[in-house]
């Protein structure tokens, strides 16, 4: 990797909040870290739901939330138009179903990349499969905008299985390791990650989109290379786990979002005695107007009104599942069934 530049502008820091702050071309980023208890045999928690606002529970009471789920935690059927969801599951399982006919159970490092385009409904449920032990779930969900020319693209469902995404590991003389997982955006001297969906902003080489996760052992260091797009690329890191960090020779004031000048390398040093973890989102801004209302992201308010009208009229393909929150049975095995009926499984 490259050597840091001494003239690198100082990074800037932002509070994380909920959701995490994003910048063009990203619209939204949230970290769900739920310590779910053992399951009740019906994919819900073997625990009382009393005191929770069922249907809209973001309480993190006892370390977990039901979100919009009634009996199984998660997000029952809801529509999207005009952007993409990228869901990286670090621990646990998600059950996906959509109005195009796709279904999946994925997790433990897998990524689902869904182009909503002209419109799709999907559900994202968190089945608690184990009845004899807790069911932790740890995931990032990222919304990536689509340029105006792709707002009405055909919906596209893609799975990146954990073993298909390249990893870079640096080990120093003391055995301290720094690991980088590449979901999108090639890294020098590393195999390319799977191709983004065809209409994604990430599929445009000049867009310089990258999604990386980083983990540094205590005392480890890692140098991020300069972005291919230089100063036109916006780079933001999220420091969400760990006790101490230094970036580009600047101490990081606790967990926060960190904006870096992407045109130069930047060294990251874990200054604590515990591991540190970060998420990085970067890309060249699309630079178009953004009109957003809930699950619809367009360029004008007129297009937002049209999205509501189209959804009410068509249901974005309708919903053929038995209920709004389908769960794919007790078998924990990961799979994806595409709209054409093709089934794939990780090796």
Q: Is the pLDDT of residue 203 over 80?
A: yes
Q: Boundaries of CATH 2.60.120.10 in the chain?
A: 9-15+166-287, 26-48+63-164+292-318
CATH domain 9-15+166-287 topology: Jelly Rolls (2.60.120)
Question: Could you tell me if 241 and 305 are in contact, meaning their C-beta atoms sit under 8 angstroms apart?
Answer: no
Handedness of CA 11, 12, 15, 19 (dihedral sign): negative
CATH domain 26-48+63-164+292-318 topology: Jelly Rolls (2.60.120)
Instruction: Count Cβ atoms below 10 Å from residue 18 Cβ, excluding itself.
Output: 8
223-276 pLDDT, tens digit each:
999 999 999 999 999 999 999 999 988 999 999 999 999 999 999 999 999 999
DSSP per-residue letters across 181-222: EEEES--TTSPPPPPPPTTSGGGSGGG--EEEEEEE-TT-EE
C-alpha span between 176 and 60 (Å, rounded): 34
pLDDT mean over 42-62: 97
Say what the alpha-carbon torsion angle 253, 281, 93, 109 is, to the nearest 10 degrees. -100
143-197 pLDDT, tens digit each:
999 999 999 999 999 999 999 999 999 999 999 999 999 999 988 878 889 999 9
53-88 pLDDT, tens digit each:
999 999 999 999 999 999 999 999 999 999 999 999
Strand partners, 143: 28, 85
Across the beta sheet with 135-145, the strand order is 26-36, 135-145, 83-91, 111-115, 156-160
pLDDT mean over 308-316: 97
């Amino acid at each position: 990797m490259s050597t840091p530049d001494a003239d690198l502008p100082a990074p800037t820091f932002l509070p994380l909040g909920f959701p995490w702050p994003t910048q063009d071309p990203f619209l939204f980023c949230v970290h769900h870290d739920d310590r779910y208890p053992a399951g009740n045999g019906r994919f819900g928690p073997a625990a009382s739901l009393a005191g929770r606002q069922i249907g809209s529970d973001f309480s993190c009471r006892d370390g977990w939330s039901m979100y919009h789920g009634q009996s199984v935690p998660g997000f029952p059927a809801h529509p999207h138009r005009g952007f993409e969801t990228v869901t990286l599951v670090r621990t646990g399982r998600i059950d996906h179903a959509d109005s195009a006919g796709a279904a999946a159970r994925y997790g433990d490092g897998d990524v689902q990349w869904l182009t909503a385009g002209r419109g799709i409904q999907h559900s994202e449920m968190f089945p608690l499969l184990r009845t004899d032990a807790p069911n932790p779930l740890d995931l990032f969900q990222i919304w990536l905008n689509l340029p105006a020319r792709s707002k009405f693209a055909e919906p596209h469902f893609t799975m990146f299985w954990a073993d298909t995404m390249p990893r870079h590991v640096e080990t120093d003389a003391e055995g301290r390791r720094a690991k980088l997982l590449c979901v999108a955006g090639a890294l020098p001297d590393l195999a390319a990650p799977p191709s983004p969906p065809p209409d994604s902003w990430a599929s445009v080489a000049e867009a310089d989109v990258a999604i990386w996760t980083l983990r540094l052992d205590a005392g480890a260091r890692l140098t991020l290379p300069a972005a291919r797009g230089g100063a036109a690329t916006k780079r933001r890191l999220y420091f969400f786990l760990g006790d101490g960090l230094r970036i580009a020779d600047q101490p990081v004031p606790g967990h926060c979002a960190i904006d870096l000048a992407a045109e130069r390398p930047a060294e990251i040093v874990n200054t604590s005695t515990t591991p540190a973890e970060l998420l990085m989102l970067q890309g060249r801004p699309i630079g178009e107007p953004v009109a957003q209302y809930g699950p619809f992201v367009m360029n004008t308010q007129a297009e937002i009104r049209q999205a509501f009208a189209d959804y009410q009229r068509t249901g974005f393909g309708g919903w053929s599942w038995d209920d709004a929150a389908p769960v794919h049975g007790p078998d924990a095995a990961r799979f994806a069934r595409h709209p054409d009926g093709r089934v794939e499984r990780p090796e």
